[in-house]
Chain A
C-alpha cells in the first residue's frame, strides 16, 4: 500500500533529521547554545567523504572514518575559536557568531570546491527488501538502524560513563561542576566533538540518500533538524530522536496527501502549533535528565 511506502520513506528521511538533531540537542543541553553551523559541518563531512571515495579510492568505512575525524577536529576548532571566547557573553552574541561560522563554512566550501554540485557515489547496493507491496531500500534500513544504534550508544554513554555523568552535571550547573573538579572546558569540547562526529555520520547518510553534494546542502536539513530538536524537546536525546522521525514522517505525508507546494508550510505550521500547546517540546518536561 502506498501508505506503507510513504511511512518507510518518512522514517528514512526522519532518521537523517534525527541524527542531525541529536547534535543540536547535545550542544544545547550542555553548552546552552544553538550551534547553527552544525548543518554546515555536515556539508563539510559530505565533501570529505566524497573526496575520500572518489579521489583517494578509500573503501566506504574508511571514508566515513575520515569524515568523522575531519568533522570532529573542525567542530572542536570552531568551538575553541568562535564560541569559547563568548562563554560569558549574551546568548545572542553566540547565536550571531554561529550564523557567521555557518556562512564562513559555506563560502569556504564554495571557494575550495566550486559551487557546482557533485554526485555522491552510491556505495550501498541498490534494491531492498519488500514489506507487503512497499519496498524498503537497503539504504533506508541502514539509516534507520544507524539512528537507533547511535541513540542507544549515546544514551548509554551519557548514563553509564564517568564522562557522561560529568556532561550531565555540566548541563545542570556549570559553576557547581567546576567546584566539584570537573574540567568544564574539556567537557564542552568533548560535547562538540561528539556532536560533530554525529554530524559526519549524518552527512554520509544524507549524501547517500540524496546524492547531490554542494556548498549549501547542509543548511536546509540543518534548519529542519533544529526544528525537529525543538519539536521533540531541546536538550533531550529521546526528544531529538522522536522529533526527527516525526518531522520526516509529517513532511512526507504532507507532500503526499495534502500538497507538494504546501509541504514546508505544513511542517513548520505543525511546529508552531505544538509549541503553542507545549512550549518545551514533546518530551521537554518529562525527562529531567538532560544531556
Chain B
C-alpha cells in the first residue's frame, strides 16, 4: 500500500508540474508577437510600405510587483503599432519580453531580442533593468527609447555625476532628479496644500532615493521645510506606523511619497487607521494605486501625483487613445506608462519617416539616423507638446500635477 501510494502521488505531482509548466509556457514573446504578426500580415496585403518591416523590441515587467507598468506599456505599444501598420507606409513588428523588473532577466531578454533581429528598441520599462541593459545597447549601437525608465543610470554610465551618456539611449519620461525637483517646486509654489513636508522613501531603491535626494535639495533651496524623513526597505515594507507617527508628531501636513503604489497603499491604510490625514503627494510610481486589486480607493482620495498624462483630458489624441485602450483591455483606463509607450512608438515612427529608415537597414545604421533625428526634432504626443531631446537622451517636457478625486485623476493645473 505504501509503494502504490507513493507512485500515485509521484504521478499526480508530475502531472501538476507539467500543467504548471505549460501554464507559464504561454510567455510574453508568443503572445506579443502574435498581434504584431497579424498586423504585419495585414500590412503586407495593403499598400506598398517603405520596404520591409522594422523590428521594435523591448522588455518590461509583465509579471511581478510592477506588472501593471509592463502590461500597460505592452498594450499601448501594440495599439500604436497596429495603428501605424494600418496606415500603410512604414511597418513595425513588436516584441515585448518579460523581465519581471529584474536586471538579470532584462539582460537575458536583451539577448533574446538581439537574436530575433531587433533594430530599434523601447529599452525597458523600469529603471534598474534599464541600467543593466543600457551598456549593451550602447555597445551594439541599437537605438533605444524607454517610455518610463526614469533613473539617470539608464542614460548615463556615471549617473551620480551625470556624465558618460550612452548617447543612443533616450527617455520619453522625465528623469528622477527632475521629478524630485519638479515636485518640490510644485509644493513650494502651492503652499495652500501644506507647509511642512515629511518624506517616506525606500532606501534600497535607486528610483526612490534619487527622487528623495533632489527633492530635499530643491526644497531646501526654495525654503520649503522638510520636517521628517523616514525610510523603509524590502524587509520592512509592511509596518509604517512608526514613520507615520513620527511624521505626525513633527507636524507634517504634506507627506511626499517617492515610492511605488504597493507600499503606498499600506501607508494610506495605516495613516487612515491612525487618524492622520495629511496631503499625500506621490510621483509616477503612485500610478496604479487605483487598479490595485481589493484596494479601497476612497483611501486614495485627495492624493496628488505628478504625471505627464491625464486620461480625462479632452483633446482628440487623448480621447482616441483612451478609447482604443479601453477597447483592447476590457474597459481599463490607460495610465501614464501606457501613454509614454504610445508616444515612444509614434516618436520612432516620426524619426524613421524623416530619416528615410527602411527595414533592410542594419541596426547601427538606423541608430545613427535616429539619434540625429531625435536630437533635432520636436515631437508632440499624449505626454507633452513640443518635446525635445538633448544629446544625452534627456527629454524636456513639463510635468502636470493631478489629484485623485472620486476615484479618477483630475488635472489641477501647474
Which residues of A does B touch, CB under 8 Å? 2, 5-6, 9, 13, 50, 54, 81, 108, 110-111, 114-121, 126, 135, 137, 210-212, 214, 220, 252, 255-256, 260-261, 263-264
Scan residues 35-54 of chain B and give those whose CB is less than 8 A from a CB of chain A.
Answer: none
Can you give 15 A-B contacts (C-beta < 8 A)? A2-B245, A9-B242, A81-B13, A115-B63, A115-B64, A115-B65, A115-B100, A116-B64, A116-B68, A212-B265, A252-B239, A252-B241, A255-B243, A256-B242, A261-B203
Which residues of B does A touch, CB under 8 Å? 9, 13, 20, 23-24, 63-65, 67-68, 100, 203, 230-236, 238-239, 241-243, 245-246, 249, 262, 265-266, 269, 272-275, 292-296
Q: How far is the CA of A237 from the CA of B241 in the complex (A)?
A: 29
Contact partner of A220 (CB less than 8 A), chosen from B231, B235, B245, B246, is B235
Q: How far is the CA of A5 from the CA of B68 in the complex (A)?
A: 36
Report yes or no: A256 in contact with B262, Cβ–Cβ below 8 A: no
Given contacts A54-B294, A255-B242, 16 further A-B contacts (CB under 8 A): A2-B245, A9-B241, A111-B20, A114-B67, A115-B64, A115-B100, A116-B64, A116-B293, A119-B265, A211-B269, A211-B294, A214-B262, A220-B234, A260-B230, A264-B233, A264-B235
Interface centre among B68, B100, B203, B241 (most CB of A within 10 A): B241
Closest 3 CB pairs of A and B: A119-B294, A210-B238, A255-B242
Report yes or no: B67 in contact with A116, Cβ–Cβ below 8 A: yes
Q: Which residues of A contact B274 (CB under 8 A)?
A: 135
Contact partner of A111 (CB less than 8 A), chosen from B23, B67, B238, B243, is B23
Q: How far is the CA of A111 from the CA of B64 in the complex (A)?
A: 10
Contact partner of A214 (CB less than 8 A), chosen from B9, B65, B275, is B65
Q: How far is the CA of A16 from the CA of B245 in the complex (A)?
A: 21
Q: Which residues of A contact B275 (CB under 8 A)?
A: 135
Q: Which residues of A contact B269 (CB under 8 A)?
A: 211
Report the minimum CB–CB distance from A245 to chain B (whole Å).
15
With A13-B239, A116-B64 as known contacts, state yes or no: A256 contacts B246, CB within 8 Å.
Answer: yes
Report yes or no: A120 in contact with B294, Cβ–Cβ below 8 A: yes
Interface centre among A6, A81, A111, A212 (most CB of B within 10 A): A212
Q: Which residues of A contact B245 (CB under 8 A)?
A: 2, 5-6, 256
Report the minimum CB–CB distance from A105 to chain B (whole Å).
12
Interface centre among B9, B20, B235 (most CB of A within 10 A): B235
Q: Which residues of A contact B67 (CB under 8 A)?
A: 114-116
Report the minimum CB–CB distance from B317 to chain A (whole Å).
29
Chain B at the A interface: SS class: helix
Q: Which residue of A lies closest to B64 (CB)?
A: A115
Q: How far is the CA of A56 from the CA of B103 in the complex (A)?
A: 38
Report yes or no: A210 in contact with B239, Cβ–Cβ below 8 A: yes
Q: How far is the CA of A81 from the CA of B14 in the complex (A)?
A: 13
Q: Which residues of A contact B13 (CB under 8 A)?
A: 81
Q: Which residues of A contact B293 (CB under 8 A)?
A: 116-119
Q: How far is the CA of A214 from the CA of B23 in the complex (A)?
A: 19
Report yes or no: A260 in contact with B242, Cβ–Cβ below 8 A: yes
Report yes or no: A212 in contact with B241, Cβ–Cβ below 8 A: no
Q: How far is the CA of A221 from the CA of B230 in the complex (A)?
A: 21
With A111-B24, A126-B273, A260-B231 as known contacts, state yes or no: A117 contacts B243, CB within 8 Å.
Answer: no
Q: Which residue of B lies closest to A214 (CB)?
A: B65
Report yes or no: B292 in contact with A108, Cβ–Cβ below 8 A: no
Q: Which residue of B lies closest to A254 (CB)?
A: B242
Report the minimum CB–CB distance from B263 to chain A (whole Å).
8
Q: Which residues of B contact A117 (CB under 8 A)?
A: 65, 262, 292-293
Report the minimum CB–CB distance from B322 to chain A (whole Å).
22
Q: How far is the CA of A212 from the CA of B238 in the complex (A)?
A: 8
Q: Which residues of B contact A9 (CB under 8 A)?
A: 239, 241-242
Q: Which residue of A lies closest to B235 (CB)?
A: A220
Q: Which residues of A contact B232 (CB under 8 A)?
A: 260
Q: Which residues of A contact B64 (CB under 8 A)?
A: 115-116
Report the minimum CB–CB distance from A22 to chain B (whole Å).
20
Report the minimum CB–CB distance from A40 to chain B (whole Å).
16
Q: How far is the CA of A39 from the CA of B238 in the complex (A)?
A: 15
Q: Which residues of A contact B20 (CB under 8 A)?
A: 108, 111
Q: Which residues of B contact A119 (CB under 8 A)?
A: 265, 292-296
Q: Which residue of A lies closest to B67 (CB)?
A: A116
Q: Which residue of A lies closest to B66 (CB)?
A: A116
Contact partner of A212 (CB less than 8 A), chosen from B9, B203, B262, B273, is B262
Report the minimum CB–CB distance from A104 to chain B (whole Å).
10
Q: Which residues of A contact B9 (CB under 8 A)?
A: 81
Q: Which residues of B contact A13 (CB under 8 A)?
A: 239
Q: How far is the CA of A6 from the CA of B296 in the complex (A)?
A: 26
Q: How far is the CA of A118 from the CA of B238 in the complex (A)?
A: 14
Q: How far is the CA of A141 from the CA of B113 in the complex (A)?
A: 54
Contact partner of A252 (CB less than 8 A), chosen from B23, B242, B296, is B242
Report yes or no: A260 in contact with B294, Cβ–Cβ below 8 A: no
Q: Which residues of A contact B231 (CB under 8 A)?
A: 260-261
